[in-house]
Amino acid sequence: MAEEEERGPGSVFQMFVLMEDLLDKLKVLDYEQHVLDKHNIKPLSRHYFVSSPHVLSNPGEQFYMFSVIAAWLISLCGRPFDTPQEYDDPNATVSNILSELRALGGQVDFPPSKLKSGSGEHVVYVLDQLVEKALKSKGFTWDRPMYPSVEVEDECVQEDDAELTLSKVEEEMTEDEEYEEEDGLDLDTLKTRTNQIELSGSRPAVVLESDVDAAEWNLEVERVLPQLKVTIRTDNKDWRIHLDQMHQHQEGINTSLQDAKGCLFKLREDISKTLEKVSSREKYLNTQLEHLISEYRQAQAQLNKVKELYQQASGGVTERTRILAEISEELEKVKQEMEEKGSSMSDGAPVVKIRQSLTKLKQELEQMDVRMGVVEHTLLQAKLREKNNMTRDMHATHLLEPNTQPY
């Protein structure tokens, strides 16, 4: 925005002028035959490469057109340059075009990315530089324009000088009205003035006759007539003009209405005839297809019965499907229990535990047997000791008895 303000307000539209000049230069080089016909492309518009919100843009198509025209112009300058294709890398294409332009002596003081959009000030600048180089290599020069000589008549009439605006006419009319209102002349005063003029002898005694030749008079009239032309500029705010326009529009509407009425009446007749034909054709088809319609109705009734039976059957199927689902759930539970029991039966861990328990019981039994043997041996010794003690006591008592008898 700052650059545009520095360059001036007209710089925005300078691109349009450059594009028009560029198109004229391309036509001089006959680009229609060498580029458009060769690549089967439509002709360029006056503002094809202009970047503006008021101009339709297609970046892909514009970039391809820019690259093709630039390649053609570079080849016209005597430098070999291959025509770019649509699938080529745009960065490489732009860099090649700018390098060729620098080689030809052109100045490039902007980044290559400005050309990738296919439109804008820089695209027009590059093409203009290339087309100038191509015209120079072809030896083309612009000649000065030759203006046709026009004989200027002595009696030229300027209508603008003789025009009177409606505002001036209205002002004069208002001034006259105000003057008449201010003066307030009545008929009596006017009659007295007329009588005074007649008495003063201002009226001629004889009828005046012209001594001028009629041909000369007509020539003078033809010469002066254009200068006497009065052109009144219409003011759109005047109610008289609006009224005239309303009358004109009313007349136009009436004439259009008359024409439209005839067309509408004719159209109504055509539509009524068409409707009669359609109704007669419909009746004919109904009579011809009556038996088919009856068959169709019978088939429709049978279809409704079959649908009812199907709904009933589908209801029973739904109930049986529910029962089947419940049975399937119970079966799954039984299968799961059987699998658990089978896995427990096939598992050897309980048997191992039983064997270990038996081994432990045997060991405990052996220990109990040893303990019982020890206890029995202890009891036996105790019994033997008690028996020995009893026998000892018995012998002791027998020995004491004979000693006591003599006393």
What is the 3-state secondary structure of 297-350?
Answer: HHHHHHHHHHHHHHHHHHHHHHHHHHHHHHHHHHHHHHHHHHHHHHHHHHCCHH
The values of phi and psi at residue 271, to 5°, are: -65, -40
User: What pLDDT is attached to residue 163?
Assistant: 45
Show contacts of 351-357: CB within 8 Å, 24+ apart: none
Distance CA 289, CA 269 (A): 30
Which stretch of 52-61, 107-116, 266-275, 362-371 has the lowest confidence by average pLDDT? 52-61
Which stretch of 9-13, 97-101, 223-227, 267-271 has the lowest confidence by average pLDDT? 9-13
Query: Under 8 Å CB-to-CB from 262, ≥6 apart: which residues?
Result: none
Q: How confident is the model at residue 328 (pLDDT cuts 50, 70, 90)?
A: very high
Query: Under 8 Å CB-to-CB from 31, ≥6 apart: which residues?
Result: 69, 72
Show contacts of 336-343: CB within 8 Å, 24+ apart: none
Rg (CA), the chain: 65
User: What pLDDT is attached to residue 180?
Assistant: 44
Amino acid letter for position 200: S
Quick one: average pLDDT of 331-348?
Answer: 81
**Residue 296: exposure state from Cβ atoms within 10 A (0-12, 13-18, ≥19):** exposed
Nearest Cα to 130, choosing from 72, 45, 216? 72
User: What pLDDT is attached to residue 161?
Assistant: 45
Distance CA 251, CA 263 (A): 18
Q: Rounded to whole angstroms, what are the CA distances from 219 to 119, 177, 225?
A: 62, 38, 10
Query: Percentage of residues in the chain with pLDDT exceeding 90?
Result: 16
CB hemisphere CA count around 132 (13 angstroms):
12
Could you tell me which residue, 407 or 340, shows the higher pLDDT? Answer: 340
User: What pLDDT is attached to residue 233?
Assistant: 61
Which stretch of 92-106, 185-199, 361-375 has the lowest confidence by average pLDDT? 185-199
User: What pLDDT is attached to residue 190?
Assistant: 52
Q: 151-155, 170-174, 226-230, 263-267 — which one is most confidently predicted on average?
A: 263-267
User: What pLDDT is attached to residue 38?
Assistant: 78
Mean pLDDT for the chain? Answer: 77
Q: Give the CA angle between residues 178, 184, 189 to the nearest 5°.
A: 140
Amino acid letter for position 172: E
DSSP annotation of 112 reads G
Q: Give the tokens for residue 340.
A: 């658990």
Q: Give the tokens for residue 158.
A: 């300027």
Distance CA 407, CA 152 (A): 215
Q: Give the tokens for residue 360.
A: 């432990």
Residue 16 has pLDDT above 70, yes or no: yes
Q: Give the tokens for residue 343.
A: 């896995």
Quick one: average pLDDT of 265-270?
Answer: 90
- Helix and strand numbers (H, E) in the chain are 14, 2
Which stretch of 107-111, 166-170, 333-337, 378-382 has the lowest confidence by average pLDDT? 166-170
Q: Centre a 10 Å sphere on the Cβ of residue 226 and count the other Cβ atoms it contains.
A: 13
For the CA atoms of 205, 211, 217, 220, the dihedral, rounded to the nearest 10 degrees, stands at -90
Could you tell me which residue, 146 or 330, shows the higher pLDDT? Answer: 330
Residue 231 has pLDDT above 80, yes or no: no
Distance CA 222, CA 217 (A): 9
- Ramachandran bin of 363, using left for φ above 0, alpha for ψ from -120 to 50, beta for the remaining angles: alpha
Q: Give the tokens for residue 399.
A: 């020995």
**Residues 93, 116: contact at Cβ < 8 Å?**
no
Residue 266 has pLDDT above 60, yes or no: yes
* Full-model pTM: 0.36
